[in-house]
Amino acid sequence: MKVKLILPALTEARSPNWRPIKYSLFPPLGLATLAGYLREDDDIEIQDEHVERLNLNDKPDLVAIQVYITSAYRAYEIADHYRSKGVHVAMGGLHVTALPHEAGRHADTIFSGPGEDTWPEFLRDFRAGRPKRIYQSATRSLTGMPMIRRDLIKKELYLVPNSIVVSRGCPHHCDFCYKDAFYKGGKSFYTQGIDDALQEIQRLPGRHLFFLDDNLFGNVRFASDLFDGMRDMGRIWQSAGTVQSVLNDRLLKKAVKSGLRSLFIGFETLNSSNLRNHNKYQNLEKNYSEAARRLHDLGVMINGSFVFGMDGDDPSVFDATAEWAVKNGIETATFHILTPYPGTALYTRMAQERRILHNNWDLYDMRHAVFQPGKIDPATLERGYWRAYKKFYQWSSIFKAAATKKSFIGRLRHLAYTGGWKKAEPLWGFIIRHKQIKRMIPALENILKGKPGLTKNEEVKFVQGREKMDTPHFELAGKGGVGHGA
Ligand code: B12
Ligand code: SF4
């Protein structure tokens, strides 16, 4: 059977002349996971429009499309194209789960929720010639999953080919998060077996890993066993976590010993009434500065995530947030405009209050105000969002933030990382266009590596681990890299 798996891109990532580096970071892990359920003799192709031009002239037996909100219209265009040729089109992912009726108009089969239970069931039905219209995920488990078909990924097109997820979902319930809507009807937080997770890690070449888990630290026991198991692997890794998880000193130290070097943290807002309004109770009364300090003391860089436009925000929020991030030596910041994704509690509330401005999904990209904010008007919100970025990434701020680092090497690392990341977009564009991205991996990996802030004893052990890692086995594979998620 000939099967084509497609990850469509949003408009800005399709331009042959200009693609922001963030679209060349991660391969389509979800589709490679689904490919694992196909047979060895199936003819499978994965195409990711973020990094390659799609070939739409073929006629496979089955096309499966992953749909995010910002690529929904493009996904529908591709689906309509294949259906007009008589190809069976299956669609799934976050946006399909949120709006099954909308997606259903463009597909023969739609999937709600994660695909590990429904996709194999569909494949059996499809091969037997009786595929259903809708498959709803209910049984959630990562046990006994087939191997992810990483061999189908064009690794040379990505800066972070070693992305990995060892859990799904998160134990929290922030009202703006896609999570509760996506996992409705079953478990909303579950992990792989620890041995399976460690084996998956061991199979990955190179030294650098990026865990894309929503909250890698969400199950303390699992995380603790995972970090123990990774301790002597000599890896360098990045992931996402909460402020709460960082304040768990023991777990954090274990993470650092196992190679944590950069963490994406959902600070979201410095205003506690905002936290309450959005169900982000896990951040309440947590000392953000203390969390940042602990990470920096241990040599871990921070990508701080902040959301603008919550009801408690007034026009001072943009400067105040950027200044806080600089003062606390945050290396990279990701600012977002609050975006009510359909299916979330936030969307329902905003719709009831008649505050949704439009449903043009292209603009639901966290850079546009698509709802009426409380104390600011939408235009001010958008302008303030860009101003915060400008303020945070101007050289004077970068130097100021770097100056908070205790050692000279720490300051240098900050400058190299932040400067290289945001100030070099044109260079990244050139590198992507000339398909040279994998040449950048070792340089970036070196910056990321840094020096963990451990005690003398801990450091001796760490260096021993690193020496083990610097064997030809790892160097030959030579993959790895650096980067941050959405
Ligand atoms: C990595 C990542 C990216 C990467 C790359 C995406 C990629 N290559 O897949 C980059 C940096 C490019 C990116 C960009 C953006 N991202 Co992003 N990203 C993620 C992240 C962190 C991980 C995705 C992942 O790999 N998950 C692990 C795999 C195993 O799961 P999966 O992909 O969901 O696939 C499973 C199911 O969805 C399902 N499934 C999916 N497709 C299909 C199809 C069929 C037929 C079937 C049966 C099943 C099925 O089965 C799979 C196995 O269970 C998620 C958060 C998250 N945890 O998912 C955010 C997330 C997907 N991103 C998000 C957003 C908003 C964006 C941006 C708009 C941000 C921005 N302002 O630029 C852009 C635009 C993306 C686009 N193209 O439209 C939102 C999506 C919201 C929504 N409702 O769609 C998320 C959920 C983050 C969040 N919490 O808000 N992102
Ligand atoms: S902590 Fe993060 S992943 Fe978990 S529900 Fe909140 S926003 Fe979503």
> What is the tens place of the pLDDT at every residue in 255-285?
999 999 999 999 999 999 999 999 998 888 8
What pLDDT, on the 0 to 100 scale, is given for residue 17?
65
- The answer to whether the beta carbons of residues 462 and 452 sit under 8 Å apart is yes
> Does residue 300 surpass a pLDDT of 60?
yes
Q: Residue 82: pLDDT above 60?
A: yes
C-alpha closest to that of 470 among 206, 261, 210, 260: 206
Any atom of ligand 1 within 6 Å of the Cβ of 214: yes
- 215 Cβ below 6 A of ligand 1: no
486 C-alpha to center of ligand 1: Å?
8
Ligand 1 pocket residue status of 114, Cβ below 6 Å: yes
Question: Which tokens is 173 given?
Answer: 């319930």
Q: Mean pLDDT over all residues of the chain?
A: 88
List the one residue out of 427, 408, 362, 343 whose CA is nearest residue 175: 343
pLDDT of residue 457: 59
Bigger pLDDT: 218 vs 429: 218
432 band by pLDDT with thresholds 50, 70 and 90: low
Query: 41: helix, coil or strand?
Result: coil
Atom 6 of ligand 2, nearest CA residue: 174
> Does the beta carbon of 216 lie inside 6 Å of ligand 2?
no
The confidence band for 427, taking pLDDT boundaries of 50, 70 and 90, is: low
What percentage of residues in the chain have a pLDDT greater than 70?
Answer: 85
Counting from 1 in the atom list of ligand 1, the atom nearest the Cα of 33 is 52
Topology annotation, domain 159-425 = pyruvate-formate lyase- activating enzyme (3.80.30)
Nearest CA to ligand 1 atom 80: 68
Residue 475 or residue 402, greater confidence? 402
Give the model's confidence band at 428: pLDDT under 50 very low, under 70 low, under 90 confident, else very high.
low
What is the CATH architecture of 2-136? 3-Layer(aba) Sandwich (3.40)
Q: Is the CB of 214 under 6 A from ligand 2?
A: yes
The answer, yes or no, to whether any atom of ligand 1 lies below 6 A from the CB of 69, is yes
* Ligand 1 atom with minimal separation from the 70 CA: 78
Query: Which pLDDT belongs to residue 119?
Result: 98
Between the CA of 190 and the centroid of ligand 1 the distance, in Å, is 18
Determine contact, residues 309/269, Cβ cutoff 8 Å: no
Q: What is the pLDDT of residue 116?
A: 96
Domain with CATH 3.40.50.280 in the chain: 2-136
Residue 251: CB within 6 Å of ligand 1?
no
As given in the structure block, the two tokens for residue 54 are: 């799609």
Q: What angle do CA 272, 275, 277 make, to 5 degrees?
A: 110
Ligand 1 pocket, residue 131 CB under 6 Å: no
How far does residue 338's CA lie from ligand 2's centre (Å)?
14
Residue 474 has a pLDDT of 23
Decide whether any atom of ligand 1 lies within 6 Å of the 28 Cβ: yes
- Site to probe by mutation for ligand 2, drawn from 167, 175, 176, 177 as the one with most ligand atoms within 8 Å of Cβ, is 177
pLDDT at site 419: 78
Q: Which atom of ligand 1 is nearest to the CA of 343?
A: 83
CB 266 within 8 A of CB 305: yes
Q: Is 179 in the pocket of ligand 2 (CB under 6 A)?
A: yes
Q: What pLDDT is recorded for position 412?
A: 86
pLDDT at 481: 24
Looking from the CA of residue 213, the nearest atom of ligand 1 is 57
pLDDT score, position 443: 61
How far is the C-alpha of 169 from the C-alpha of 343, rounded, in Å?
16
How close is the Cα of 174 to the center of ligand 2, in Å? 6
pLDDT at 483: 28
Q: Pick the ligand that lies closest to the CA of residue 174.
A: 2
Ligand 2 centroid to residue 215 C-alpha, Å = 7
| Confidence grade of residue 408 (pLDDT, cut at 50, 70, 90) | confident
Q: Which ligand 2 atom lies nearest to the CA of residue 214?
A: 3
Locate the ligand 1 atom nearest the alpha carbon of residue 50 and give its number: 77
pLDDT digits (tens, 9 = 90+) for 451-486: 655 555 555 554 454 444 332 222 222 222 222 222
Q: What percent of the chain has pLDDT over 90?
A: 76
Q: What's the CA-to-centroid distance between 408 and ligand 1, angstroms?
A: 38
How far apart are alpha carbons 21 and 270 in whole angstroms? Answer: 29
Q: Which of 199, 161, 167, 198 is nearest to 183 (CA)?
A: 167
Q: What are phi and psi of 250, to 5 degrees?
A: -65, -45
- 269 within ligand 2 shell (Cβ under 6 A): no
The listed range with the strongest mean pLDDT (5-19, 20-34, 280-294, 380-394) is 380-394
Cβ–ligand 1 contact at 338 (below 6 Å): no
State yes or no: pLDDT of 115 exceeds 90. yes
- Mean pLDDT of all residues in 109-115: 97
Query: How many Å lie between the centroid of ligand 2 and the Cα of residue 180?
Result: 9
> pLDDT tens digits for 178-189?
999 999 989 999
pLDDT in tens, 242-256: 998 888 899 999 999
Q: Going by C-beta distance under 8 Å and a sequence separation of 6 or more, which residues neighbour residue 449?
A: 236, 261
Q: How do residues 359-380 score in pLDDT, each as one tens digit? A: 999 999 999 999 999 999 999 9
Ligand nearest to the CA of 486: 1
Q: Where in the chain is CATH 3.80.30.20?
A: 159-425
Whole-angstrom CA distances from 93 to 24, 36, 135, 137, 179 are 20, 17, 12, 11, 12
